[in-house]
Copies of this chain bind each other. A is one copy, B any other.
Amino acid sequence: MNWDDLRIIAAVRDEGTYAGASARLRIDETTVGRRLARIQRDLGVPLFDAVDGLRRPTRQCEAVLEHVGAMAAHAAAIDRVKESEVGPVGRLRIASTNAVAEELLAPHASSFLRDHPGLTLQFLTSSGNVKFSRWQADLAIRLRKPEKGDFTISKLGEVRLYFFEPADRGGAEPVVCVYPDELDAIPEAQFLRAKRLTNVRCVTDNVRIIRTMIQSHQAIGVLPEHSCGSLLADRSLRATLLPRRRDVWLLVQNHLKRDPATRVTIDWVRACFKDLSHG
């Protein structure tokens, strides 16, 4: 039994004719006749008598109509669920590095969430533990371009990188902060490896740690522009812009690429990165 055909029964009862029901439901009168015939066959009982030019519900039809009325009330309530939300609705789980989340996304998050009251953002910053393929995140911001997978990938932007070293090299040899092996492909790691620095004593991908050590004027390292902040103005440090930038990639679950909430969130993430490129 097709539940939607039940609405035909109610309309014919209310209007008394196929033509009246047709106007009410805004479907063709031929369609009303056919769908009524179909639900009548499905139910196996006659639903209307034809008397004096009008369709009159049978006893069985009256019994059916009591239930249809109740179903219509529930359908109306479902429609109100829809109306209770204005704008895109949803919860987006964004997997990214701490730095990206804290310094690129978080500063703009409040205004974005204010502008879209139906949205919720969840930042997954321990991204090593998130399996994108298992739908454990909706979006992922990656520093490496994954070769393939069940997702849609696009380039978010390019991040400028700065090499920091103490201005005064007279003191003790500064420690060198490098990125772990699995990040060998990123420009920062390649740059540092090419310089053949000694005293490599700190290995981490936590840029906050790297930034704190650089700020002590006793360490060497590379930071992305969004993590530099006031370090660029520190006269005890020498900042050198690297020739290469680092690509940043956005991954979107395939089943979400047309989802309205996802689309506005993607636009917002892109704007965050665009602000950076011009800042």
Contact = CB atoms under 8 A, between A and B. Distances in A.
Nearest to A90: B46
A49 B91 contact: yes
Contacts of A49: 91, 135
Given A4-B2, A136-B52, A255-B50, A77 B81 contact: no
A43 B78 contact: yes
Interface size class of A (residues with CB under 8 A): 35 or more
Interface string A1-40: 1111111000000000000000000000000000000000
Interface in A59-109: 60, 63-64, 67-68, 70-71, 74-75, 77-79, 81-82, 85, 89-91
A194 interface: no
A210 interface: no
A85 B45 contact: yes
A2, A91, A135, A259: residue with the most chain B Cβ atoms closer than 10 Å? A135
A51 B134 CA distance: 7
Contacts of A52: 134-136
A3, A60, A79, A259: residue with the most chain B Cβ atoms closer than 10 Å? A3
Interface of A: 1-7, 42-46, 49-53, 58, 60, 63-64, 67-68, 70-71, 74-75, 77-79, 81-82, 85, 89-91, 134-136, 253, 255-256, 259, 261
Given A53-B135, A68-B78, 16 more contacts: A3-B4, A3-B7, A6-B75, A43-B78, A43-B81, A45-B82, A45-B89, A45-B90, A49-B91, A58-B90, A58-B91, A60-B85, A67-B75, A70-B70, A70-B71, A71-B71
